Amino acid sequence: MSSIDASQIHSQKALLAAPEKATMPASKMIVEVARQFGVSPIKQMREMFKLDRKAGISFGEYYAAQHYRTDLTAEEKLQFVGEKGSYKLNLRLSPAKLGDKRSFIRDKVLYTTMLKGMDLPTTQTQAVAHGERGFGAIKTLRTPADVARFLTSEAVYPVFAKPLEGSKSVGSALLTGFNAEKGLIEMGNGKAFDIDAFAAEVVNDYPEGFTFQSAVQQHKSVSALAGQAVGTMRVVTVIEDSVPRVLYAVWKIPSPKAMSDNFWQSGSMLGAVDAENGKVSHAITGAGLDREIIEQHPVSGKSFAGFQVPHWDKVKEVAQQGHSLFPEFGVFGWDIAIGEDGPVIIECNANPFHTLYQLPHDRGINNPDFAPVFDKVEARTQAILETRTEQMKKIRKDQRI
Q: Could you read off the pLDDT of 170-200 as tens digits, one per residue? A: 778 899 999 999 999 998 888 899 999 999 9
Whole-number percent of the chain with pLDDT over 70: 91
Residue 366: per-residue pLDDT: 98
The answer, yes or no, to whether residue 245 has pLDDT greater than 80, is yes
Identify the bridge partners of residue 129 per DSSP, sorted by sequence position: 141, 210
Mean pLDDT, range 224-239, rounded to an integer: 94
SS3 125: strand
Mean pLDDT, range 7-27, rounded to an integer: 58
Q: Quick one: pLDDT band at residue 3, thresholds 50, 70, 90?
A: very low
Least confident of 94-98, 119-123, 247-251: 94-98
Strands 173-179 and 184-187 come out as antiparallel
| CA distances to 21, 31, 40 from 27, in Å | 18, 6, 12
Q: How far apart are CA 80 and CA 60, in angstroms?
A: 14
The answer, yes or no, to whether residue 106 has pLDDT greater than 60, is yes
Q: Quick one: pLDDT band at residue 261, thresholds 50, 70, 90?
A: low
Q: Quick one: pLDDT band at residue 309, thresholds 50, 70, 90?
A: very high
The answer, yes or no, to whether residue 1 has pLDDT greater than 50, is no
Whole-number percent of the chain with pLDDT over 90: 75
Q: How far apart are CA 392 and CA 329, in angstroms?
A: 19
Domains along the chain?
Answer: 27-78 (no CATH), 92-107+219-378 (3.30.470.20), 124-214 (no CATH)
For 1, the enclosing helix (H) or strand (E) is none
Residue 171: left if φ>0, alpha if ψ -120 to 50, beta else—which one? Answer: left
Dihedral sign of CA atoms 203, 209, 213, 218 in order: negative
For 205-319, list the strands marked E by DSSP: 210-214, 233-239, 244-253, 269-273, 280-285, 292-294
Q: What is the largest CA-CA distance in the chain?
A: 77
Strands 125-129 and 139-141 come out as parallel
pLDDT: is 158 or 15 the higher one? 158
54-65 pLDDT per residue, tens: 999 999 999 999
The answer, yes or no, to whether residue 345 has pLDDT greater than 90, is yes
